[in-house]
Structure formats: C-alpha cells, structure tokens
Amino acid sequence: MKRFLTKHGILVLSAATAVAVVLSLVSFFSSNTDLLTNIVNTVSTPFRSASAAVAEWVGEKLRYASEYDAMKERIQELELEIAKMEEQLRQAEADSDENQRLRKLLDLREQQRDLQWESARVIQRDASNWEATLSLNVGTDFGVEVGDCVITEAGYLVGLITDAGSNWSTCTALIDTEFSMGAVIFRTGDVGVAEGDFNLMQEGELRLGYLDAAATPQVGDLVVTSGLGGYYPAQMVIGYIREVMTDDDGLAQYAVLEPAAALEELQQVFVVKDFTVVE
C-alpha cells in the first residue's frame, strides 16, 4: 500500500490537485463562461445537436406507435377544453375592453408585455441524476446571456441560463437546487421565493418558501414570477401549488410547486433576451 502510494498515488493525486486548482481559479476569475469550457462545448455542440436530432426522430416514431390510442383520447379531451376556453376568452376580451376604458379614465399607463426571445432546441438533458439542466443550441452569438429566462411556447417558465458560450448555453431548470426566483401566488398576491430543493427535485417539483406568516396558499393556486427588482419578467407561469407544508421549526409555511412546463418532454424552448413589462 505504502509502495503503491509513493510509486504512483501521490504523483497522480498531485496532478489531479493541480488540475483542480487551475480549473477552480479559471472558473473563479472568469466573469462569464471560461475559455476551456467554451472550447469543449463549442466543439461538442454540433455533435450533440446531431445526436439529439436522431434520438428525437427515433423517439417520435416509437411514441407514435405506442401512444396512438392514448393520443386519440387526449385529442377529444382537448377539444372539450378548447370549447370551454373559447367561452372564457370571449369573457376575457370583454373584461380587457372594460379594463382599457377604466385605465384611460384613471389616466394609467397602458399594460404592456413585450418579450424579445430566441428559439432554441434542447440538445441534451443532464447526463447525471443530480442536477436538472438542459443544453441548448444557442449562445452568445445569438444574444443569449447568463441570467436570461427560458420559457416554453406556452410561456411556462423552464429555468434560467447559467452558462453560455458562442453556440451553446446551459439552462438550469427551475427544479434544480441552483434555481431561485421571486414568485407570487396569483390568487392572493402573496410573495415568496420559488427555489429548487434536492428532495423535491427527485419528484420533479420545487419549493415556494419565505412566505409571509399571513399568507394563505391553497392547493391548486397558480404561482407566477413576481418580477420584483426588474431582473426577470413578471407574470410568467411557474406552476401550481400541490401541497402546503410547515417548516421543520413549525414557524413558517412553504408550498410544494408542480412546474407547469413538462420538463421531461421539452424539445424546443425560447430564451427571453429582453423584455418590457408594464403592469
């Protein structure tokens, strides 16, 4: 054992330590993505894109064969849902007209929601089970920056860009432990922080914490981004409350959120590069 360690072990471990120190320093002193990471990902992105395209095509064919009957049933359900939503839409249009008239009467600024986005394909899901990230095929060449929000075509929040290189970026999903964002319960206006939790991540869920003692969250409540501070757009759908819990200390409450976006099935997403929201 001693001979083994003196022969090779110390040498190899020293090399690993030296490399680890270099990687840590490069990572620490890089304000954005470091050069080495950028090179590795820039080179591998075209290959990962090709792999993703093939895997997607095969998956699509397999799904079509196995889920044909289920899809037919789902279409019928959706047709009913659309009919209900069309009725709600007519009512919402009338409400919106009324809202505009009242805003003019009160001399308020017009509500505005303008998102500038970039379409992106998911080229890889995280290979480990310990993080929840997605690799996207757009990067700084497309104007994507660290801190940008990622949403689905329906406007549901997927996560945040945490790393970006020239032709690639990494989106940390909202269930990942690194994720944290101001949120508000749509029904009550109670403000909290939506954040990833390792225990909940295993179930594909996240936590709405730091709720006020007087907050009244209920199961099924819609939770959206608060937009406080202006870093992220407001009113983006995060998910729905599945359970209301009390912290271990018994003093504060928190809610378990089920994300609105189907994170496992995402193939295309949209990176919000810039936004203007006037409430």
Interface with another protein (CB under 8 A)? 1, 4, 7-9, 11-13, 15-17, 19-21, 23-24, 27-28, 36-37, 40-41, 44, 48, 51, 54-55, 59, 124-131, 133, 163, 170, 172, 198-199, 202
Query: What distance lies between CA 82 and its chain's CA centroid?
Result: 26
The residue among 143, 181, 180 whose CA lies nearest residue 164 is 143
Min dist. Cβ of residue 23 to another protein (A):
4
Q: Are strands 169-173 and 133-136 parallel, antiparallel or unpaired?
A: antiparallel
CA distance 204 to 265: 12
Asked whether the beta carbons of 173 and 263 are under 8 A apart, the reply is yes
Q: Tell me the one-letter amino acid at 201.
A: M
**Which residue, 80 or 127, has its beta carbon nearer to another protein?**
127
- Which residues, including other chains, have CB under 8 Å from residue 138's CB and lie 6 or more apart? 118, 119, 120, 144, 167, 168, 169, 271
**Which residue, 98 or 130, has its beta carbon nearer to another protein?**
130
Q: Enter the tokens of residue 241.
A: 């409350």
Min dist. Cβ of residue 246 to another protein (A):
15
Min dist. Cβ of residue 277 to another protein (A):
30
**Which residue, 38 or 225, has its beta carbon nearer to another protein?**
38
Min dist. Cβ of residue 250 to another protein (A):
16
Residue 169, helix vs strand vs coil: strand
Q: What is the CA radius of gyration of the chain?
A: 23
Paired strand residues for 239? 223, 259
Min dist. Cβ of residue 169 to another protein (A):
12
**Which residue, 44 or 188, has its beta carbon nearer to another protein?**
44
Min dist. Cβ of residue 257 to another protein (A):
18
Min dist. Cβ of residue 128 to another protein (A):
5
**Which residue, 77 or 264, has its beta carbon nearer to another protein?**
264
Q: Tell me the one-letter amino acid at 124.
A: Q
Q: Enter the tokens of residue 230.
A: 């202006």
**Which residue, 116 or 202, has its beta carbon nearer to another protein?**
202
CA distance 99 to 91: 12
**Which residue, 12 or 102, has its beta carbon nearer to another protein?**
12
CA distance 90 to 247: 42
